[in-house]
Amino acid sequence: MLPHQFELLSDTTTKIIGLCSGYGGGKTWSAARKAVHLAILNPGVDGIITEPTFPLLTQVMFPELKSALEFFNVQYKFNKVESIFYCNINGHETRIICGSMENYERLIGINAAWCICDEFDTSKTEVAYNAYVKLLGRLRKGNVRQMVIVSTPEGFRAMHKIFVLEKDDSKKLIQARTQDNKYLPVDYIETLRSQYPQNLLQAYLEGKFVNLTSGTVYSSYDRVKCDSNETIQQGEPLYIGCDFNVTKQAATVYVKRGEVWHAVDELVDMYDTPDMVRTIKNKYAKHVIYVYPDASGGSRKTVDASISDIALLQQAKFIVKANKRNPAVKDRILATNAALDKGLVKINSKKCPIVSQCLEQQAYNKNGEPDKSSDNDHQNDATTYPIAFEMPIIKPVANLNVKFAM
């Protein structure tokens, strides 16, 4: 077995375990043998295995399960109508119940020891996540109760939500690369490279969660590389970027450690500017507050037609840091990517889950502009205003005949 396959099959203690790999990583081979292994460990108790659709069960999983059962010398009878493998495990009838994940509700009347979902992320995100929740609730019997999720990463979908956004001690994610499989044909990887753009190769060769619909705006943000463990310390100054939107006010709170800015808290979906002012005052009463707002807030009025948003911040005795106008959006994005790449900006993803999620997921639309349809833009704007103000990109002067630039 390959190392990632061995790790999946040998782990019988993690409650929820995932295997995420590129094409050709041996995922379905692993899923079928994990199913038989769990059946052996739970004699007389049902287990469940799913594919996104019934045709995938018949074309992919049924043949692989038969091969795995024969490899383990397990006697079985397959009922094609029921899609159930009736196995003899130490004299106990042990069922491996097969179903399509799109029809997961047909499986929720079962009391099982284990469940394996193959090619999990190729289902619609809502279907996959709801199936995961419902099927996890069926694991009520047996010696080894385990939920196993196997898939090629398909962007920021259900698998990313379960193992990254909702990560806890009950879960483990194994990630593998296509090139880890030494048994592939010699031209397999080069064929993939010739067919797919770079962002797809990161998913389909490297087994990484990346945006597959278009390029991500903040491409330098890496959840691991840019992570921070810093938190707010008593009495220290706070630097807060804020974006003005009625019912969608957003703010990102930074602290400074030397030259490095650390995002350590977030304020999400506040109603309006007065609501944001009250929240900041109540939550950070003993701190000096620097605010980096949307510069257009000098004329924008989200509440009182006679008072601008920036004026409200100044009345609250916050120190407002804003130029007369916002920099070009592309310059703000460039400054943020440069700061992330240089390690000058870090994100505490535990304290700022929405900040992390938005930086990861905002893509460009068909016009090449940052997409605003998925509501990732408000928090990203709040996160990046302080960076653009404090760490702007200094453009070089093209005219080499002058001695200095004004």
Per-residue pLDDT tens digits for 255-304: 999 999 999 999 998 999 999 999 999 999 999 999 999 887 655 556 55
Rounded distance between C-alpha atoms, residue 196 and residue 183, angstroms: 22
Per-residue pLDDT tens digits for 309-335: 899 999 999 999 988 888 888 889 989
pLDDT higher than 50, residue 399: no
DSSP code per residue over 343-362: TSEEE-TTT-HHHHHHHHH-
Query: Of all helices (H) and strands (E), which one includes residue 270?
Result: strand 260-270
In angstroms, what CA-CA distances link 85 with 39, 82, 129, 168?
11, 9, 26, 33
pLDDT for residue 147 = 98
pLDDT for residue 190 = 85
pLDDT average, residue stretch 58-78:
95
Q: Tell me the one-letter amino acid at 72.
A: F
What is the CATH code for 238-390? 3.30.420.280
Contact criterion met (CB below 8 Å) for 250 and 297: no
Q: What number of residues does the chain have?
A: 406
Rounded distance between C-alpha atoms, residue 288 and residue 370, angstroms: 33
Cα within 13 Å of Cα(169), Cβ side:
0
Per-residue pLDDT tens digits for 6-21: 999 999 999 999 999 9
Query: How many DSSP H helices and E strands does the chain contain?
Result: 13, 14
Question: Where do the structural domains in the chain lie, given as residue ranges?
Answer: 3-204, 238-390
Contact criterion met (CB below 8 Å) for 33 and 9: yes
Residue 386 is classified by DSSP as H
Cα within 13 Å of Cα(394), Cβ side:
5
Residue 322 is classified by DSSP as -
**Beta partners for residue 347, in sequence order:** 227, 263
Per-residue pLDDT tens digits for 179-224: 888 888 878 888 878 766 566 677 888 888 877 666 789 988 999 9
Query: Of all helices (H) and strands (E), which one includes residue 369?
Result: none
Rounded distance between C-alpha atoms, residue 69 and residue 33, angstroms: 8
What is the CATH code for 3-204? 3.40.50.300
